[in-house]
């Protein structure tokens, strides 16, 4: 609990405020280098610590940061002309260099020395590893930049991203120092059965009320939360605060990643979150595009999608999920999959910290034992802010080496002193294999139906969230809507061949015809333009959760063959090779509820079937493609509105033949998706993924036991005959064939 005066002291950051003056003693990450990509490019509005500033890059590559109001009569330099080594105000042409000197004053007489007396407020900038830093403090010679590991290692080893948080900086920082919320907000619905016994995750979900210790450090504060682990040991998670706004959290379960987070005040009620990490593998991101939190547990994966940046003071790095749409909370997911129903760790944190209001009134707090790190850090911040007022330099400002810190999860003997024992593992610029618990070192693929189901829960969340994503369907968009292993890749090749004239210029077919629900896992945004028009997507979503308003090519396949093909696809790739027998897979996944990540074959078929007589849909059977590929290619071309000649159709059909696709197998083996799934589940990258099989019709009659065949027939009768009226798949196929002939 804080008094209103204390709360103001901690949260107000404008010029002249104690906290604002404290922060101005340090270098501040101001913007990404990529935001000023070109010399003499357009200036950029930037608000920092409540000051409206204009950033620009000169012809020699230097970065200038000037107060936005021109010192002449206050016109905004945002409209300025970026000319050579300075920014020229468009009102009367006064020009200022990066130091704020007026270097040209065309409205004054030629012999006037007035320009020498006029200065724009300017802050020095420097760039390191993709970040533009600025110093807004009083020193003539700024202090050194802090030795932050992810900002010092070669840029190809590191990853930086930023995101707007619409609340005061301190309540965002409080979230990083509050170790207790991990086991509830993020992992509250994860049960011990869903994680590997003996892993960090396991200890986290088996004890949601860990013990806490907190100490002061030379550079801030440090907290250790501890849980009982195996054989008189404890699992410790180390959190650190570094002046003035950095948080080091133990990333994920391994403690092997260097991660620095910064909460930089834009003004009193907005904050820019900075995430700098090494290595970048846990967060497969593309700058300015889709990003994802990827931890291998249900509820922790989700989209972190960005709206396009605007030139507004608050228009940079805004997320699509925000208060206006309740952060896309999904009550069904909340009930069945994750604790919150909100997709991903970042969005969960954003929702709760912003839900407190722009500046939370801390007079009404009731802090508990798990809030000790927050309490101590606030005290340190208030003390430092008052010290600066008294002329005392704040912690670590002149000691960049103090920032060579990491936080880590580590197993320690019960008798160990947590501070001493973690001194080594906290050192930056080193590797610490000793910090990884044995159970986490080798994550294997699931080997039982139960393990497969647990992994599927995670995928289910990815799939479920996909249906709720903000996506602008265009009426010309084509969705290849199939149940898994029913000819999707084949149809992707046909559609792409038809729209490009047979181009094979791609690394993997799903990089040019994106897998709609999996695209963000691959670091791509399905809403992006594609290499050719019309846009085309593959999706396994049911119709009720798939994007509406497009055109749909539904490929159907005999359920028995789909089952066999799916099993062979999964075996050795998504489950340990041969650990699960095909008939067990049939009973435990294909025939059972809820089925795989995309649900059940039967629900999928029933959901799309009502479209089969509609103009915006084309229904094709896998077996027809085997029988007469040229005819199917011609039908798809007509559906796409193409007036293609025979030679062209022949080319596309030839490139969609099994022989041709097999010869170009590396372009169809789905490696990007496999790698993304391995990263998601933190396991070594897998075996060669052979996606193309010969696709023999009737394969299931040899591959499945008589009992499984009977179960398939019984399920067909119960699920499909009873609702759609077709006694068998062959009957349904004959119905479609007769329609196609009309
Ligand atoms: S207001 Fe900028 S030059 Fe006059």
Ligand 1 centroid, distance to 564 Cα (angstroms): 74
Residue 309's Cβ-side half-sphere holds a number of Cα atoms within 13 Å equal to 18
Pocket test for ligand 1, best of 92, 100, 121 (most atoms within 8 A of CB): 92
* For the CA of 93, the nearest atom of ligand 1: 3
Ligand 1 centroid, distance to 141 Cα (angstroms): 29
Question: If you average pLDDT over residues 701-724, what whole number do you get?
Answer: 91
* For the CA of 92, the nearest atom of ligand 1: 3
Tokens of 666: 């590396």
The answer for residues whose C-beta is within 8 angstroms of residue 713's C-beta and 6 or more apart is 728
Question: If you average pLDDT over residues 710-730, what whole number do you get?
Answer: 95
Q: Which 8-state DSSP code applies to residue 69?
A: B
Pocket test for ligand 1, best of 69, 94, 120 (most atoms within 8 A of CB): 94
Comparing CA positions, the residue from 98, 132, 100 lying closest to residue 115 is 100
**Residue 235 Cα distances to 229, 428, 442, 694, 712, angstroms:** 6, 20, 18, 50, 48
- Rounded to whole angstroms, the Cα distance separating 118 from 518 reads 56
* For the CA of 89, the nearest atom of ligand 1: 2
Ligand 1 centroid, distance to 669 Cα (angstroms): 61
Ligand 1 centroid, distance to 70 Cα (angstroms): 6
> Do 547 and 474 meet the contact criterion of CB atoms below 8 Å apart?
no
Mean pLDDT of the chain, nearest integer:
86
Residue-by-residue DSSP string for 484-503: TTSSHHHHHHHHHHHHHTS-
Ligand 1 centroid, distance to 118 Cα (angstroms): 12
Question: If you average pLDDT over residues 621-650, what whole number do you get?
Answer: 93
- Rounded to whole angstroms, the Cα distance separating 69 from 65 reads 12
Q: What digits encode the pLDDT tens for the residues 167-187? A: 999 999 999 998 888 888 888
| Whole-number pLDDT of residue 684 | 55
Pocket test for ligand 1, best of 89, 95, 118 (most atoms within 8 A of CB): 89
Q: Largest alpha-carbon pair distance within the chain?
A: 102
- Ranges assigned E (strand) in 440-529: 478-482
Q: Quick one: pLDDT band at residue 370, thresholds 50, 70, 90?
A: confident
* For the CA of 75, the nearest atom of ligand 1: 1
| Rounded to 5°, angle at Cα 89 from 88 and 95 | 40
Comparing CA positions, the residue from 487, 490, 527 lying closest to residue 509 is 490
Ligand 1 centroid, distance to 124 Cα (angstroms): 22
* For the CA of 94, the nearest atom of ligand 1: 3
Tokens of 400: 């960049």
Ligand 1 centroid, distance to 108 Cα (angstroms): 12
Question: If you average pLDDT over residues 581-597, what whole number do you get?
Answer: 86
Question: If you average pLDDT over residues 415-430, what whole number do you get?
Answer: 85
Question: If you average pLDDT over residues 114-136, what whole number do you get?
Answer: 96
Ligand 1 centroid, distance to 653 Cα (angstroms): 66
Ligand 1 centroid, distance to 137 Cα (angstroms): 26
* For the CA of 74, the nearest atom of ligand 1: 1
Q: Residues near ligand 1 with C-beta < 6 Å?
A: 70, 72-73, 75, 89, 91-92, 94
* For the CA of 70, the nearest atom of ligand 1: 2
The interaxial angle of helices 629-639 and 488-500, nearest 10 deg, is 60
| Whole-number pLDDT of residue 524 | 65
> Do 312 and 76 meet the contact criterion of CB atoms below 8 Å apart?
no
* For the CA of 73, the nearest atom of ligand 1: 1
| Whole-number pLDDT of residue 465 | 61
Pocket test for ligand 1, best of 68, 70, 86 (most atoms within 8 A of CB): 70
pTM: 0.64
The residue with greater pLDDT, 199 or 545, is 545
| Whole-number pLDDT of residue 10 | 97
- pLDDT surpasses 60 at 519: yes
> Do 542 and 599 meet the contact criterion of CB atoms below 8 Å apart?
yes
> Do 64 and 113 meet the contact criterion of CB atoms below 8 Å apart?
no
Q: What digits encode the pLDDT tens for the residues 550-570? A: 999 999 999 999 999 888 888
What residue owns the CA closest to ligand 1's atom 4?
Answer: 92
Ligand 1 centroid, distance to 127 Cα (angstroms): 29
Ligand 1 centroid, distance to 572 Cα (angstroms): 69
Q: Which domains are assigned to the chain?
A: 27-135 (2.102.10.10), 149-284+366-441 (no CATH), 449-741 (3.40.50.300)
R_g of the chain, CA atoms, integer Å = 29
Ligand 1 centroid, distance to 51 Cα (angstroms): 19
| Whole-number pLDDT of residue 252 | 54
Q: What digits encode the pLDDT tens for the residues 279-312? A: 544 443 333 333 333 345 666 665 578 899 999 9
- Rounded to whole angstroms, the Cα distance separating 604 from 703 reads 23
Please state the φ and ψ torsions of residue 605, each to the nearest 5 degrees: -60, -45
What residue owns the CA closest to ligand 1's atom 3?
Answer: 92
Q: Which 8-state DSSP code applies to residue 521?
A: G
Ligand 1 centroid, distance to 77 Cα (angstroms): 9
Strands 44-48 and 51-57: antiparallel
Range with the poorest average pLDDT among 41-55, 327-341, 455-469, 595-609 = 455-469
- Rounded to whole angstroms, the Cα distance separating 131 from 445 reads 38
Q: What torsion do the CA atoms of 131, 136, 141, 144 make, to the nearest 10 degrees? A: -40
Q: Quick one: pLDDT band at residue 592, thresholds 50, 70, 90?
A: confident
Residue-by-residue DSSP string for 359-395: S--GGG----GGGHHHHHHHHHHHHHHHHHHTTPPPT
| Whole-number pLDDT of residue 284 | 38
Sign of dihedral through CA atoms 509, 513, 518, 521? Answer: positive
- pLDDT surpasses 70 at 446: yes
449 in the Ramachandran plot: left (φ > 0), alpha (ψ -120 to 50) or beta? alpha
| Whole-number pLDDT of residue 291 | 35
Ligand 1 centroid, distance to 103 Cα (angstroms): 13
| Whole-number pLDDT of residue 431 | 66
């Amino acid at each position: 609990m804080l008094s209103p005066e204390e709360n103001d002291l901690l949260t107000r950051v404008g010029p002249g405020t104690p906290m604002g003056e404290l922060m101005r003693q340090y270098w501040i990450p101001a913007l990404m280098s990529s935001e000023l990509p070109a010399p003499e490019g357009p200036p950029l509005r930037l608000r920092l610590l409540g000051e409206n500033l204009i950033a620009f890059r000169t012809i020699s590559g230097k970065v200038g940061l000037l107060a936005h109001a021109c010192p002449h009569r206050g016109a905004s330099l945002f409209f300025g002309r970026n000319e050579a080594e300075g920014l020229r105000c468009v009102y009367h042409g006064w020009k200022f260099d990066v130091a704020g000197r007026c270097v040209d004053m065309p409205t004054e007489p030629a012999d006037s020395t007035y320009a020498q007396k006029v200065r724009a407020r300017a802050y020095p900038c420097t760039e390191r590893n993709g970040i533009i830093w600025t110093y807004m403090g009083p020193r003539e010679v700024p202090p050194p930049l802090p030795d932050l590991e992810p900002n010092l290692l070669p840029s190809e080893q590191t990853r930086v991203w930023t995101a707007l948080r619409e609340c005061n900086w301190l309540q965002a920082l409080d979230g990083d120092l509050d170790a207790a919320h991990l086991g509830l907000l993020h992992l509250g619905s994860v049960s011990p059965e869903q994680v590997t016994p003996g892993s960090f995750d396991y200890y986290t979900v088996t004890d949601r009320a860990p013990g806490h210790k907190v100490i002061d450090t030379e550079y801030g504060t440090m907290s250790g939360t501890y849980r009982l682990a195996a054989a008189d040991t404890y699992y410790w998670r180390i959190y650190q605060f570094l002046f003035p706004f950095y948080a080091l959290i133990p990333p994920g379960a391994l403690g092997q990643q260097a991660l620095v987070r910064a909460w930089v005040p834009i003004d009193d009620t907005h904050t820019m979150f900075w995430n700098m990490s090494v290595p970048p593998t846990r967060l497969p991101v593309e700058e300015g595009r889709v990003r994802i939190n990827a931890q291998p547990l249900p509820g922790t994966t989700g989209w972190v999608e960005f709206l396009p940046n605007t030139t507004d003071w608050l228009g940079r790095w805004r997320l699509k999920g925000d208060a206006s749409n309740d952060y896309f909370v999904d009550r069904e997911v909340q009930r069945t999959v994750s604790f919150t129903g909100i997709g991903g760790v970042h969005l969960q944190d954003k929702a709760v910290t912003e839900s407190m209001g722009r500046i939370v009134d801390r007079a009404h707090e009731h802090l508990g034992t798990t809030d000790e790190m927050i309490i101590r850090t606030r005290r340190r911040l208030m003390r430092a802010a008052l010290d600066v007022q008294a002329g005392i330099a704040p912690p670590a400002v002149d000691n960049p080496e103090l920032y060579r810190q990491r936080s880590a999860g580590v197993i320690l003997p019960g008798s160990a002193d947590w501070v001493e024992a973690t001194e080594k593992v906290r050192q930056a610029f080193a590797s610490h294999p000793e910090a990884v618990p044995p159970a986490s070192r080798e994550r294997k693929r699931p080997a039982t139906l139960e393990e497969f189901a647990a992994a599927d829960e995670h995928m289910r969340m990815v799939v479920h969230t996909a249906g709720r994503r903000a996506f602008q369907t265009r009426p010309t968009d084509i969705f290849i809507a199939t149940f898994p292993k029913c000819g999707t890749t084949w149809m992707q090749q046909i559609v792409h061949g038809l729209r490009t004239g047979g181009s094979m210029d791609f690394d993997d077919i799903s990089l040019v015809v994106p897998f709609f629900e999996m695209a963000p896992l691959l670091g791509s945004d399905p809403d992006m333009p594609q290499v050719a028009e019309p846009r085309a997507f593959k999706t396994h979503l049911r119709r009720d959760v798939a994007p509406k308003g497009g055109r749909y090519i539904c490929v159907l396949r005999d359920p028995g063959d789909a089952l066999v093909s799916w099993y062979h696809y999964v075996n050795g790739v998504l489950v340990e090779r041969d650990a699960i027998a095909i008939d067990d897979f049939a009973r435990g996944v294909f025939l059972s509820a809820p089925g795989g990540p995309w649900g059940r074959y039967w629900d999928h078929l029933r959901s799309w079937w009502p479209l089969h007589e509609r103009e915006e849909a084309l229904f094709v059977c896998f077996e027809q493609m085997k029988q007469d590929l040229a005819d199917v290619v011609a039908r798809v071309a007509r559906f796409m509105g193409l007036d293609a000649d025979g030679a062209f159709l022949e080319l596309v059909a030839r490139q969609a033949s099994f022989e041709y696709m097999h010869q170009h197998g590396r372009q169809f083996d789905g490696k990007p998706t496999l790698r993304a799934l391995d990263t998601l589940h933190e396991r070594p990258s897998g075996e060669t993924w052979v996606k193309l099989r010969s696709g023999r019709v009737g394969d299931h009659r040899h591959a499945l036991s008589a009992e499984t065949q009977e179960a398939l027939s019984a399920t067909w009768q119960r699920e499909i005959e009873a609702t759609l009226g077709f006694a068998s798949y062959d009957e349904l196929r004959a119905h479609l064939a007769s329609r196609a002939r009309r």
